[in-house]
Amino acid sequence: MPPDAGRAGRIPLLLAAVCCALLTLAVLLPPEIDPLTRAACKVLLAGGACLLAAEAGEHTRFLPAWTWSLLPFAAVSIAAAPGRAGALDEASDACALVLAALAGRRLASESRVREVMIALIVTLACVAALRAVVQHHWIYPMEVRALRAGGGGDTALILARLEAGRPSGPFTLPAALGGFLAMTLPLTLALMKRAPGGAARSGILLASLVQGYALFLARSIGALAATAASMLLALPFLAPRRAAAGRWGVLVLAVAGTAFFLHARRVEIGSPGADPFVLRAGNWNAAVRMIRDHPLFGTGPGSFGTFYPRYIEPGMNETRYAHNSYLQVLAGWGVWAIVPLALFAGSFGARLRQAWRAGGADLPVLAAGAGFLAHNLVDFTAFLPGVALPAALLLGAGMGPRPAAGPGVADSRSAASHPNAGPRAARRAIAALTLALALGFSAHAVMAALSQDLLERAGTAAVGGDTNEALRLARAAARRRPGDPSPPAFIAEWVLAHGMKDGALREEGERAALRAAGLDPESAIRHFTVSLYHSAAGRPADAHRELLTARLLYPLKDLYRAGGRPGRTEAP
């Protein structure tokens, strides 16, 4: 066998190992919770991109040709964003999803690898569901008892959420857990259909019941609707002879579940909080008004939470997400983003229709991806990598070439991926460019993660009373990533709370406050912090100017009307 042919056979296996590691990290240690996991996932994806570039032919066409024409628009949106660090972070997250989808697409024709990945996703879903069950029945009740025994007047909201008993498993929110299970349930049932024996089928049936119970405990209406959509779409494969009866069964369960969830959520509203439907309507309305006011290139990627406060009306909540990922993308990037969204939707819809008519084995994968896309109409799991990265892999696998009949045999269209295809110079140029971009992508991810980790440790030290260690860690975070406004903002607030009597610290705090406001000029809290330093230095005119700016950026915030003093918790 020629050396290049052996390398070609190894690349799918290496890429599969990368994808399996990515899935395990993303679900068990979600990147939205652990910044180091976020960096690790992006480094893995950068390695996957290099593996893709090592192949020539079809697979080096990373994206359709029309996508490259949109890069100038994306670059302008990032360059025009008021907060450059946030814009780069969101752009990096978007690139990670694209790379995950490309990896899934490349492995779609490797039937054995595809089966292993689906089995891994189902296994991870079982682990997540079991964690949710343990949270609901054991962990949350213990935490409630501990909080009640400790007392304290600031625990009412935490107690209300714990007593509601809605688990999140390894994720940040119950809705995120529900959105993940909406993808995995069709895959689990598809595995049960293909299971070789009765014992295996019984085990997979038990796994589906555990996932269904965790979905019930999460009580997320949006996730329930997404699950109903994914299950309905998967029925021609799961129960081709009883599809009509299955549709009625899914619809009845969805309606009954929605009624119960509505009742349960209405009961929860009696505790601190508000009606989630009213709050979402307010979020959507604010996003639409942002799009109206900033149509061409948006408010800037990653800036929704910064711009949102100026659109808040009485009764609306503070949030950093629009609870509709598509509206949030258009608000942040601009209306030009409709083009890739619409073209992807058209291509996905065409593939889904073909699979629906054929009822083949790729239908559950496409149905799982459709569940994720549907869930993002009412939530923001596209911005939570713990759910979004597995979804991107599934979407890529569903959109890729169909597996061949024989296990481990690639689709005939992947024959063009032989390393000898195409000029050697072109392949080397592609590999060199991909390596350079992968290194830059990884370096940004690592620097951002290390800075965020240091800042989180600084917050933990501050809460624990070790103020000197908190300041040291915040300074280290600022050095690690000079363009991020969060570390200097932390330093400025630390000095306001602990160091105003020290002249050197006071000067450092004011410099940090000015730097944070310069890096994030549309953030009200940054200007408010600067106003406090001006006021302490006896510059009332400057203090009034900054306070007025903060008030204009967040008109309904009482703190900016009264000119009080901020706590450690940052507001927009």
The pLDDT tens digits for 284-304 are: 999 999 999 999 999 999 999
- As a dihedral over the C-alpha atoms of residue 92, residue 349, residue 126, residue 456, rounded to 10 degrees, the angle is 20
Contacts of 55 (CB under 8 A, 6+ apart): 8, 11, 106, 417, 419
In whole angstroms, what is the distance from residue 437 CA to residue 96 CA? 12
Of residues 422 and 257, more confidence is placed in 257
For the chain, what percent of residues have pLDDT higher than 90?
A: 63
- Angle, CA of 81, 86 and 88, to the nearest 5°: 80
Span 302-341, pLDDT tens digits: 999 999 999 998 888 889 999 999 999 999 999 999 999 9
Three-class secondary structure of residue 233 per DSSP: helix
Q: What does the DSSP assignment read for 401-453? A: PPPPSSTTPPPGGGGGG-TTSS-HHHHHHHHHHHHHHHHHHHHHHHHHHHHHH
Three-class secondary structure of residue 238 per DSSP: helix
CB 369 within 8 A of CB 394: yes
CB 226 within 8 A of CB 375: yes
Q: Which two tokens stand for residue 436?
A: 């350079």
Contacts of 198 (CB under 8 A, 6+ apart): none
Decide if pLDDT at 265 tops 90: no
Q: How confident is the model at residue 412 (pLDDT cuts 50, 70, 90)?
A: very low
* Residue type at 231 in one-letter notation: M
* CB burial of residue 263 (10 Å; 0-12, 13-18, 19+): exposed
| Exposed e or buried b per residue across 155-170, where buried means at least 16 C-beta atoms within 10 angstroms of its C-beta | eeeebebbbbbbbbbb
* Residue recorded with tokens 């910044």: 35
Decide if pLDDT at 62 tops 90: no
pTM of the model: 0.90
Span 497-517, pLDDT tens digits: 998 899 999 999 999 999 999
For the chain, what percent of residues have pLDDT higher than 70?
A: 88
Q: Which two tokens stand for residue 466?
A: 């070790």
- Give residue 541's pLDDT: 94
- As a dihedral over the C-alpha atoms of residue 509, residue 513, residue 518, residue 520, rounded to 10 degrees, the angle is 130
Of residues 435 and 425, more confidence is placed in 435
CATH 1.25.40.10: which residues of the chain?
428-562
- Give residue 110's pLDDT: 85
* CATH architecture, range 428-562: Alpha Horseshoe (1.25)
Decide if pLDDT at 566 tops 70: no
In whole angstroms, what is the distance from residue 455 CA to residue 97 CA? 26
- Give residue 227's pLDDT: 94
Which sign, positive or negative, has the C-alpha torsion 436, 441, 442, 448? positive
DSSP annotation of 227 reads H
- Give residue 37's pLDDT: 96
Q: How confident is the model at residue 99 (pLDDT cuts 50, 70, 90)?
A: very high
Phi, psi of 298 (to 5 degrees): 70, -175
What average pLDDT score do residues 92-106 get? 95
Instruction: Return the minimum-mean-pLDDT range out of 21-25, 102-106, 259-263.
Output: 259-263
Of the spans 142-146, 197-201, 345-349, which averages the highest pLDDT? 345-349
Span 205-222, pLDDT tens digits: 899 999 999 999 999 989
Instruction: Return the minimum-mean-pLDDT range out of 54-63, 181-190, 217-226, 528-537.
Output: 54-63
CB 320 within 8 A of CB 305: yes
CB 117 within 8 A of CB 16: yes
Contacts of 528 (CB under 8 A, 6+ apart): 546, 547, 550, 559, 560, 566
Decide if pLDDT at 526 tops 60: yes
Check residue 409 and give left, alpha or beta (phi > 0: left; psi -120 to 50: alpha): beta
Decide if pLDDT at 190 tops 50: yes
CA nearest 523: which of 489, 563, 490? Answer: 489
What average pLDDT score do residues 454-469 get? 93
Q: Which two tokens stand for residue 60?
A: 């080096």
CB 519 within 8 A of CB 85: yes
CB 413 within 8 A of CB 404: no
- Give residue 354's pLDDT: 92
- Angle, CA of 161, 166 and 167, to the nearest 5°: 110
What average pLDDT score do residues 223-242 get? 89
CB 127 within 8 A of CB 24: no
- Give residue 279's pLDDT: 85
Decide if pLDDT at 569 tops 80: no
In whole angstroms, what is the distance from residue 12 CA to residue 21 CA? 14
CA distances from 464 to 460, 490, 565, 571 (A): 6, 16, 21, 21
> Radius of gyration of the chain from Cα atoms?
25
What average pLDDT score do residues 417-431 get? 63
Instruction: State the chain's mean pLDDT as an integer.
Output: 87
* Residue recorded with tokens 């903002």: 489
Contacts of 25 (CB under 8 A, 6+ apart): 31, 37, 40, 41, 44
Decide if pLDDT at 564 tops 60: no
Decide if pLDDT at 424 tops 60: yes
- Give residue 179's pLDDT: 96
CA nearest 118: which of 226, 227, 243, 16? Answer: 16
Of residues 283 and 10, more confidence is placed in 283
Decide if pLDDT at 193 tops 90: no
Q: How confident is the model at residue 521 (pLDDT cuts 50, 70, 90)?
A: very high
Three-class secondary structure of residue 173 per DSSP: coil
Decide if pLDDT at 411 tops 50: no
Measured distance between the N- and C-terminal CA atoms of the chain, rounded to whole angstroms: 61
Q: How confident is the model at residue 20 (pLDDT cuts 50, 70, 90)?
A: very high
In whole angstroms, what is the distance from residue 390 CA to residue 90 CA? 18
- Give residue 241's pLDDT: 77
Q: Which two tokens stand for residue 464?
A: 């624990």
